[in-house]
Structure formats: C-alpha cells, structure tokens
Amino acid sequence: MKILFVDDEEVIRDLFQEIFGGEYELTLAGTAEQALEITTAESFDLIITDIRLPRMNGIELITKLREKGVETPFIVITGNQDIQISINALRLGAVDFFLKPFRMEAIRYSLLRFRNLFHAGKDLVDKRFFQIRESKQNFALIPRLGNLNQYVHLILRSISHLPGLHNDDLLSLKVALYELVGNAIEHGCAGISYHQKQELMFRESDYFAYVDRICESREDWIEVQIDYDDKQVVVVLEDNGEGFDPDRVPDPVNDPNASQLSGRGIFLVRMNVDSLDYNERGNKVTFIKKLQTQILAKS
C-alpha cells in the first residue's frame, strides 16, 4: 500500500519511516506545497497529514486535493486544541484522526484496518448501463476479524450498480460498515470491552488473530440488512452479543484525552452518515446514508 506522510517535523517523518517503511511503500513530505507537487505526478492509497503545517495547513491541503479530483482517503494528525478542525477534516473525507502525542501502535492498528479495504474498492466496476433502482438484501456473516475487509467489499458490491453513486458516498459507506461490522465482531461476538481492547492491543502481537480465536469457539452470526434506492442507503446490523450503552462510550470531541482506541469508531460513523441509532440493548444498529446526488440536486 502506497502512503504519503506529511509532517513538518523531520524527527516525526524519520520515525514514521523507521517504523513503517518495511511494511508500506512510503513517500514523505515536509510541507503541504511539497505534498501537492508529489500528488500531481503520483497517486497514493492513503494520505496521512498533520493539521498544523507552515504556510498551508492540512485542511487547505485536503481542500486543494479534493478540488483537483484527488479522492484518496485521509488520516489527519492534530492536537487537542484543534479537535474542531479535525471534525472539518472528517467532513472533507478524512477517514480517521490522531491526537498528538499519538501512539505508533494506534496508527499501526488503523493502517492494518484500511490496508485492504481501499484496495478492494478499486475492483468495483461502474456499470451504468445496468441500473438497480431499489433493492433489499440480507447477509449473514461468520464473525472473523480477518475477513472484515472482504465482508465490507462484498456488501458494497451489492450496491455498486446504483445510478450516480458518488465516490464520496462509497467512501462514507466503507468507513461506516468497516467500523460497525468490526465492532460487532470485537465487542459483540468476542465480548471484548473497549477498556480490554486497549490493553490487548499492546499485549497481543496479533490482535486480529486473538479476536478470531475467541469467535471460533462460539457459533454466532452477524446479520446485515441493506435496503436502498436511488436516494439513500439504509443499513441494519445485529449481533448476538450482550450489547452495550453507546452513551457511555468516550466521545473524542467532549473528551479528547480518552483512549485513542475507544469511541473512535462510533464517532467516525456519525461523521460519515446522516443518522445512527442503536436499539435499547445496544446489539442492533441502524444507519442511513443519503446519496450525494440527491443532496447536490437540492442545493
């Protein structure tokens, strides 16, 4: 996976290269201007950029790349004082964010999650001669975190023929499905709490395999229902876990010092969909994503 990493601190760039250079194809940039020049001649699978950059900041970089038609997924790095700026970045298409000082383990986990997810999206074919106007489909998934990327890809393939499906819609649906199906596997089927997850991420060398070993000992399924037309996509996910209280999950906006692994998923989903609702037990979630073509038509 090709990654462009943008940070004005040379020590941070060197550290990122040292830690992740052996796993990913990295290109480093010290300024937003340099990043813009690089993306003119080369494409990337992921861009990670600091918000605070000299002359042109990370938000301006993202905006200019979007104006150029570059729809590469973004991760932004920010300080606690810039949390509102991070929210604006998410609205521009950033798929995750990290607060400084960040842990490299948290970034490693995020890269693992998205490594195959966006590659899978490249295989989706735009077949506008054959258009499905509306449909309802039900899926049953055996909970395996190692299969998460493929699960999301298969679900999204079922709606890839929607007329005028915008790339931003597809990206938002990817993020929401990845986070919610992943939560259903980790917290619902495997029964791992948000606090336990933070400890396990540092203790287990292969967290994904650890979760899957727990799931293999159980006979649970995750039910996914997709209901869509040319205006919106409605997704319902349900697992057989004990459930949880979403109101007790840390909100990184109100509590930026909370765990970097807790609450991020729900927050990212809320930023990418138009509505998100849990049942009283907390093991069933429904979200609605209005399609970009309808929003643009009304504006």
CA nearest 139: which of 128, 121, 155, 124?
155
Task: Please tell me the predicted confidence (pLDDT) of residue 100.
Answer: 74
Band of pLDDT at residue 215, cut at 50, 70 and 90: very high
State yes or no: pLDDT of 198 exceeds 60.
yes
Band of pLDDT at residue 262, cut at 50, 70 and 90: low
State yes or no: pLDDT of 231 exceeds 50.
yes
Question: How many helices (H) and strands (E) are present in the chain, helices listed first?
Answer: 12, 10
Count other Cβ atoms within 10 Å, centred on residue 208: 19
- Higher-confidence residue: 259 or 195? 195
Calpha distance 291→233 (Å, rounded): 7
Task: Please tell me the predicted confidence (pLDDT) of residue 131.
Answer: 52
Determine whether 92 is exposed, middle or buried from the number of CB atoms within 10 Å of its CB (0-12, 13-18, 19+): middle
All residues at 6 or more sequence positions from 215 whose CB lies less than 8 Å from its CB, including other chains: 142, 143, 144, 145, 185, 189, 190
Band of pLDDT at residue 3, cut at 50, 70 and 90: very high
CA nearest 94: which of 61, 68, 55?
61
Task: Please tell me the predicted confidence (pLDDT) of residue 204.
Answer: 80
Q: Half-sphere exposure of residue 188, counting CA atoms within 13 Å on the CB side?
A: 29
**Average pLDDT of the segment spanning 206-216:** 91
DSSP-based helix, strand, coil % in the chain, nearest 5? 45, 20, 35
CA nearest 2: which of 77, 154, 114?
114
Calpha distance 180→163 (Å, rounded): 25
Q: How far is CA 197 from the centre of its chain?
A: 18
pLDDT digits (tens, 9 = 90+) for 57-72: 888 898 888 888 787 8
Calpha distance 146→75 (Å, rounded): 22
Q: Of 1-5, 99-103, 195-199, which range is least confident?
A: 99-103
Calpha distance 141→224 (Å, rounded): 8
Count other Cβ atoms within 10 Å, centred on residue 76: 26
For 51-206, where are the E strands, in sequence order? 74-78, 94-99, 134-141
pLDDT digits (tens, 9 = 90+) for 121-169: 444 334 344 455 667 888 999 999 989 988 998 888 878 767 667 888 8
Task: Please tell me the predicted confidence (pLDDT) of residue 250.
Answer: 63
As a whole-number percent, the residues of the chain with pLDDT over 70 amount to 82
Q: Are 61 and 33 in contact (CB under 8 A)?
A: no
Determine which helix (DSSP H) or strand (DSSP E) holds 38, and give its type and residue range. Answer: helix 32-41
State yes or no: pLDDT of 253 exceeds 80.
no
218 φ, ψ to 5°?
Answer: -125, 165
pTM: 0.62
State yes or no: pLDDT of 296 exceeds 50.
no
Set out the domains of the chain in order of their start, with CATH numbers: 2-124 (3.40.50.2300), 134-290 (3.30.565.10)
Q: Are 288 and 173 in contact (CB under 8 A)?
A: no
- Higher-confidence residue: 239 or 255? 239
Band of pLDDT at residue 118, cut at 50, 70 and 90: low
pLDDT digits (tens, 9 = 90+) for 22-47: 989 999 999 999 999 999 888 888 89
Calpha distance 299→290 (Å, rounded): 14
